[in-house]
Structure 1
């Protein structure tokens, strides 16, 4: 089975829910990756894996029931995208200018190798991505996050191009 990523649907979802919470999903104190997962799902990304193992796959079952770590934790979603060979897949790229609408940027605020935050590209102006996020809800923010209180000079960015076709 072949499934196509609908980048425009992912971005439309991101624009609709950037400053609100879809009642069909749980809300987390650190909600950035839950929001990104919802955007990916809205873009037709297929879930894979299921309970009881939260460490395998990318999935959500029912409101406030169960979900994989990759659904809700930035560091886990990054590793899932790095290693997934079927379903939701992506490739890391070295430059923000390689990204398209609906792609994902991860942030390591301290530069220590641990991912702290995730965003989705919602617009591109002169080749520069702008992003939406939850936790500190924001829309169409410059991806560098230099105006954020979380910004540090040690910040490391991880750019992921979501594959346009998902193989199952």
Structure 2
């Protein structure tokens, strides 16, 4: 039976934990995707693939998939997932909804370095929350970030509403 992605629950989780860490989950030095994964999970996204770290999206038994914890891996998980948690790439940030994701390739080298979750939309533009350098309701393009370069590329993922 299909379940629905609860965007409001994902965003509520993102707002609650944007500047702290839920003790029920591990904390990473580079914590952005772990935080995004927790938000997706709070929104009802189903885990799958355990125990293979290279497959699926999951956390359990003191280990996790690469897609749970790494922006590059989660970005490519969405590109190939056909069951469970899925998303589609859209061509503009204006097509994102609350609970959707943005991936950042700051160097423009094809390796995604950062991930965020859309927590509000103002004047048609998404604002995001993130961990690592914890951010709340930040304008989506990160041009004010120390990591941003003129080569920065983005991938916009619309999380599918049904799993």
- Counterparts of 1:4-43 in structure 2 under 5 Å? 4-43=4-43
**Does 2:73 correspond to 1:76?**
yes
2:137 to 125, 136, 140: 140
Inter-partner Cα distance in structure 1 for 2:56 and 2:144: 34
What 5-or-longer segments of structure 1 have no aligned partner?
none
Secondary structure of 2:3's aligned partner: strand
Inter-partner Cα distance in structure 1 for 2:115 and 2:59: 18
- Counterparts of 1:110-149 in structure 2 under 5 Å? 110-149=107-146
Match of 1:55 in 2: 54
CA RMSD, aligned part only?
0.5
State how many pairs are aligned: 163
TM-score, reference length from structure 1: 0.96
**Does 2:157 correspond to 1:153?**
no
TM-score, reference length from structure 2: 0.99
Inter-partner Cα distance in structure 2 for 1:151 and 1:77: 20
Deviations along 1:28-55, whole A, 9 cap, x unmatched?
000000000000000000001101x200
What 5-or-longer segments of structure 2 have no aligned partner?
none
**Does 2:105 correspond to 1:108?**
yes
Query: Runs (4+) of structure 1 moved beyond 2 Å?
Result: none
Inter-partner Cα distance in structure 1 for 2:16 and 2:157: 22
Cα distance, 1:123 vs. partner? 0.2
Inter-partner Cα distance in structure 1 for 2:77 and 2:95: 20
